[in-house]
Structure 1
Amino acid sequence: MIKNVLVTGFSGKLGNFVAPYLQDQGFNVTGTDIVLPKPDSENAKRGIPFVKADLLDIGDLMKAIAMSQCDAIVHLGAIPYNVELQPPYADRTGIGAASDGIRTNYSMPEDNTMKINTMGTFYVMDAARRMGVKNVIAASSFFTYGMGFRLSGNDFIPDYLPIDEEHRCEPEDSYSLSKCLGEEIMQAFSRAYGMNSVAMRLLGVYYHDSEASRRTHVFHRGYELIPQDEREKVMTCTIYEYVDARDIAVFVGLALGKMGSLPHSFEAFNVWTDTHLEPESAPFYAKLYPKIADMCQNLKGHDGLFSIEKARRLLGYEPQYSWRNEK
């Protein structure tokens, strides 16, 4: 039975939802990050134990594992975008680009996304293996499927809707690729060493307490509110769906309770809360994405483009924090 949990990316926004939730569920939580928690953060206010560690230093990670005496690791530490994305790609995708085409993340080395996301996951898995920790849950992304930063300029045309975890993965940019490679690393360690690992394919994380997040995630959308330049670009960065950070925390708690009893030693799960949309999904997406209008007829009610049936079936996951419940 899992009792002690080490959370990487502890000082980040998501870490400040997941760690407190797990503590409230009775887990003994320790956090690790390369930066200290902010004094006014939830994790700092609670005084959750913290070990400073660099994801790219296996010795640091082994120290954090030893000090936490963890039975499981929740690996949230990552760079959540591709830092080397240069104009004109930033202008083309419209994500993270300032009016002058300069992204604020240019202050980081251009290999950080690939290095930290890929090698960081490798070191987490290898440190866990060396220290006898059998259970790892890690944040992955829906970008693994191939949408997101479509550097080719081509639409992402899915094979079917809604997209489940068996759908092909065809990434183009470094962030999407790093998440695919992270999942491959997890699978390899699960095969080789009998470790249990779960990848959470997260979809546009929403933080209800963040003004910046509220500006990004505009709810009650209808077709008339979609900017003209975002129409007919099939499933690129913006698909008007999201996962609430509180639902991610709930998912992690459910997954920790099922580690070792899932059908396979490695499992990937889509983790989703709701769409941003006021209208039902099928007619909205058929109008927005005419190239896949026929596929959109498979969507029911307010279902999204991604299926969470696997998470429902295997974990009992059900989104709790839809904006529709907060009217």
Structure 2
Amino acid sequence: MHIIVTGGAGAIGRHAVHELLSAGHSVTTIDLREPPQCMSGEQFIEGDLTIQSEALRVIRDADVVVHLAAIPNPDSDPPERVLSVNTVSTYNVAEAVRRNGIRRLVYGCSESSSGFGIHYVNIKPQYLPIDETHPVCPHETYSLSKRFGEEIAVWYAQAYGFEAVALRYAWVWLPRDAAGIQALVERHRAGNWQVGSWFGAYIAPQDVAQAVRQACDVPLGCGRLEAFYLTAESTFYPVPTLEVLTAIFGELPEVRDADYFVSNPYATPFDTRKARNMLGFRPAYDWRHYEEWVYATPK
């Protein structure tokens, strides 16, 4: 297949491009800047996806579009810019997909779109584990932009009959954040840790890339979107997940599927079984071996 990856010059994008090329696909990267070194078989096109004419020009002649381009957090830019850039670019990508007859859109969403990732208010889950049908409550600029993007993909897939996938991945541990994460890991290893408001979910970019490849390949019906939560197998905490959630909220949310936590007491509160069953997703990376994978750069 020929696959377009928006944001392919970014940290997650480089891993996704490498994974897709390794699987035998042809890949075109679209970004505001060219990657330091294009991989063998990768093509690059410069394009600003916040401009619709640019999106229509560069997103064409492909089987699948993987849309990863985004401002990746609420803190690096003014909040109104985060919301507008992420939402408008996703709208323009969806327009290009439908106008140019592309079969599938794979949207790089976020667990934050649920309201439980990046958040300013601690919202107690209605039940555990949190699956893709759990009600959402995004309430800051980044999580809102990701949620709006998923809704655009849902409605466009229904209206125009293309296939869509939303990958709701957890906090992706990237080289640019390595110093802060390393300090977190070292405190954790020394036993100097405490439960905050974070649920402890994270993921390696290599595992996100695995899911991107699977989302491009999995058989789907037209006219609908399939969403998937993606995290590492277990949380970052050394105590069982139900204890973590009790510590955060003062009481345990309803546990609808106790077997989920019996098989792995440290399992992420985000239910990844749909990704496991439909995509074949198997996260391979864990914080205990963080140094072995966080600095890996695909070439």
The 3-state SS of whatever aligns with 2:149 is helix
Tell me, yes or no, if the aligned pair for 1:190 and 1:196 is still in contact at 8 Å: yes
Between the aligned partners of 2:238 and 2:188, the Cα distance in structure 1 is 5
**Structure 2 CA distance for aligned equivalents of residues 222 and 325 of structure 1:** 12
Q: CA deviation at 1:279?
A: 3.7
CA pair 217-124 structure 1, distance change in 2 beyond 3 A:
farther
Residue 160 and residue 110 in structure 1: after superposition, are their counterparts in 2 closer, same or farther (change >3 A)?
Answer: closer
Is 1:130 equivalent to 2:130 in the alignment? no
Percent sequence identity over matched residues?
Answer: 29
User: Match for 1:141 among 90, 110, 130?
Assistant: 110
Q: What residue number does 2:272 align with?
A: 308
Q: Which moved more, 1:130-139 or 1:43-52?
A: 43-52
- Give the match for residue 71 of structure 2: 79
Residue 243 (structure 1) aligned with residue 217 (structure 2): no
| Structure 2 contact 124–253 (Cα < 8 Å) conserved | no
Indicate the SS of the match to 2:168: strand
- Residues 126 and 304 of structure 1: CA distance in aligned 2, closer, same or farther (over 3 Å): same
Distance of aligned partners of 1:45 and 1:162 in 2 relative to their CA distance in 1, 3 Å threshold: same
Q: 1:208 to 1:297 in 2, by over 3 A?
A: farther
CA 1:45–1:257 in 2, change beyond 3 Å: closer, same or farther? Answer: closer
Give the 3 Å change call, closer, same or farther, for CA 286–250 of structure 1 in structure 2: same
Question: 1:194 aligned to 2:154?
Answer: no
Which residue is 1:91 aligned to? Answer: none
When residues 184 and 216 of structure 1 are mapped into structure 2, their CA distance, relative to the original with a 3 A threshold, is farther
- Corresponding residue for residue 215 of structure 1: 182
- Taking structure 1 as reference, are residues 133 and 216 closer, same or farther at Cα in structure 2, changes over 3 Å only? farther
Check the 8 A contact 1:219/1:276 in 2, yes or no.
no
Q: Deviations over 1:186-242 (max 9, x none)?
A: 011111110101111110001369633643762794895334xx54x4xxxx22220
Matched, 1:156 2:123: yes
Which of these residues, 15, 18, 22, is aligned with residue 16 of structure 2? 18
Q: Identify if the C-alpha distance between structure 1 residues 222 and 240 changes in structure 2 by more than 3 Å, giving closer, same or farther.
A: farther
The residue aligned with 2:295 is none
Q: TM-score, normalised by structure 1?
A: 0.78
Aligned to 2:218: 258
Q: How far apart, CA to CA, are the structure 1 residues paired with 2:184 and 2:123? A: 22
Query: How many pairs were matched up?
Result: 286
Work out whether residues 127 and 254 of structure 2, in 8 Å CA contact, stay in contact via their aligned partners in 1.
no
Residues 55 and 212 from structure 1, CA distance in 2 versus in 1: closer, same or farther, beyond 3 angstroms?
farther
Query: Structure 1 127/293 Cα, relative in aligned 2: closer, same or farther at 3 Å?
Result: closer
Please give the alpha-carbon distance, in whole angstroms, between the structure 1 residues aligned to 2:56 and 2:179: 35
1:137 counterpart SS class: strand
Letter in 1 for 2:235: T
Q: Describe the superposition over 1:235-255 as per-residue Cα deviations: whole angstroms up to 9, x where unpaired.
A: xxx222201110111111111
For the 8 Å contact 2:18–2:39, the answer to whether it is kept is no
- Equivalent pair of 2:229/2:271 in contact (CA under 8 Å): yes
Q: In 2, are the aligned partners of 1:6 and 1:73 still within 8 Å (CA)?
A: yes
Question: Offset of 1:36 from its aligned partner?
Answer: 2.2
CA RMSD of aligned residues (A): 2.8
Give the C-alpha shift of residue 117 in structure 1: 1.1
Q: 1:63/1:11 Cα in 2 relative to 1: closer, same or farther (>3 Å)?
A: same
- Compared with structure 1, are the counterparts of its residues 146 and 214 closer, same or farther at alpha carbon in structure 2 (3 Å cutoff)? closer
Question: What amino acid does structure 2 have at the position aligned with 1:118?
Answer: T
Q: Deviations 1:139-166 (Å, cap 9, x if unpaired)?
A: 1111122224544xx4210001110000
Task: Judge conservation of contact 1:219–1:323 (CA < 8 Å) in 2.
Answer: no
Distance 2:43 2:228 in 1: 29
- Taking the aligned partners of 2:231 and 2:186, their CA distance within structure 1 comes to 15
Unaligned runs of 5+ in 2: 293-299
**Residue 280 in structure 1 maps to residue 274 in structure 2:** no
- Tell me, in whole angstroms, the C-alpha distance in 2 between the residues paired with 1:223 and 1:166: 38
5+ unaligned residues in a row in structure 1: which ranges? 84-104
CA contact (8 A) 2:173 2:205 kept: yes
Query: For 2:189 and 2:268, how far apart are their aligned partners in 1?
Result: 15
Which moves more between the two structures, 162-171 or 270-279? Answer: 270-279
